[in-house]
Structure 1
């Protein structure tokens, strides 16, 4: 009698050899490849080329947000993405504008950029929490890449340090958005191939039954 552990191992081996399991395995292999630094596949890089990206800038703290937008544009152009730029009054207006742009279906990513600097009242805390929560909800709701590109700083010096050419949060937000775009393309492509494989593969039991049918060849 074959031990249960041996039977389980044999069953796992059969599953591993099945086409459906191979398709699922390759899907997760690609996802790991996308998220592993230094090991981005060529097809992921190709997905970033031609990506349609909207940069949405809040004009409040204009000096800082212009620098953020400049970094984001440079990062997008370096990846051969197509960029359109939009503006709103302040960071509080970013979430509704992001939603409007995402609903158009014209963009693979919408990159909101803003800057909040603490003042003497609780206004900073109220805005920072409201903007962060709203953008997070939008990012989880739309099939569009929506990163977080809003600075929340104690001083203007901190904001300048994070919008400089050496450390630019706008460029970082754009890079994160393009990575999400590539991830979505990789998942869609893998799912499509897995569906085609499942549709064309005939169950073994069906093939056996057909061979045993009288008069069949």
Structure 2
């Protein structure tokens, strides 16, 4: 079953501009550069504006995204970096903590594509960051774009400050009753 090719969704298109923040942890710079190249190619294919920042390690990626979310107006985020298992428990701690933090922010409504690799050997990271292959940086950028598209699909217009009586929008068909 390992030879089965995955189904890849077409990239979404947008009527209104989209701006993403790509947060890169370049600890393994060659891998990070390949992941970033893949993400940039995907975002350029869709015509999305993006900024790129670097942080020291994958541990700081979720914090940088949280700061950007509080202090800026990005529509979504792409997290990139690489962890290679070593001789200490740091690998387990860093991979779990960064993944968990990104997932929790995603569950709170942020649109985040997670392209942080956690591998046993650097050769595994090289295979996943290969520009000609299925670059995980590009896949993370695509995931962020799909989440932005989904959040815009279900967005409700803001009515300003005060009490809101907006009906709750239900997921599902575009026709028929779609509010509760």
Q: Report the TM-score, using the length of structure 1 for normalisation.
A: 0.65
Separation in 1, partners of 2:75, 2:32? 22
Q: What TM-score, normalized by structure 2, do the two folds share?
A: 0.77
1:119 corresponding residue in structure 2:
86
Q: Corresponding residue for 1:52?
A: 19
Give the structure with the larger helix fraction. Answer: 1
Q: Which residue of 2 aligns with 1:88?
A: 55
Distance 2:44 2:32 in 1: 18
Residue 102 of structure 1 deviates from its aligned partner by 1.4
1:37-76 per-position Cα deviation (integer Å, ceiling 9, x unaligned): 46x8xxx5224x6310110000211110111011101100
SS in 1 for 2:111: coil
In 1, the alpha carbon distance for the partners of 2:47 and 2:33 equals 21
Structure possessing the higher radius of gyration over alpha carbons: 1
> Quick one: distance in 2 between partners of 1:181 and 1:110?
9
Question: Quick check: 1:110–1:145 contact (8 Å CA) kept in 2?
Answer: yes
**Residue 110 of structure 2 corresponds to residue 164 of structure 1:** no
1:33-44 matches, within 5 Å, as 37=9
Once the 2 structures are TM-superposed, how far is the Cα of residue 110 of structure 1 from its aligned partner? Answer: 1.1
Q: Counterparts in 2 of 1:66-81, with a 5 A limit? A: 66-81=33-48
CA–CA distance in structure 2, aligned partners of residues 117 and 37 of structure 1: 29
- Distance in 1 between the 2:144 and 2:38 partners? 13
For the structure 1 residues 186 and 129, does the alpha-carbon distance in structure 2 shift closer, same or farther, using more than 3 Å as the test? same
- Matched residues in 1 for 2:123 and 2:137: separation? 16
Q: Distance in 1 between matches of 2:72 and 2:60?
A: 20
The number of equivalent residue pairs is 153
Distance 2:124 2:9 in 1: 27
Q: Write out per-residue CA displacement over residues 110-138 of structure 1, whole angstroms, 9 at most, x where no aligned residue.
A: 11101000011221111111111111111
Other-structure match for 1:138: 105
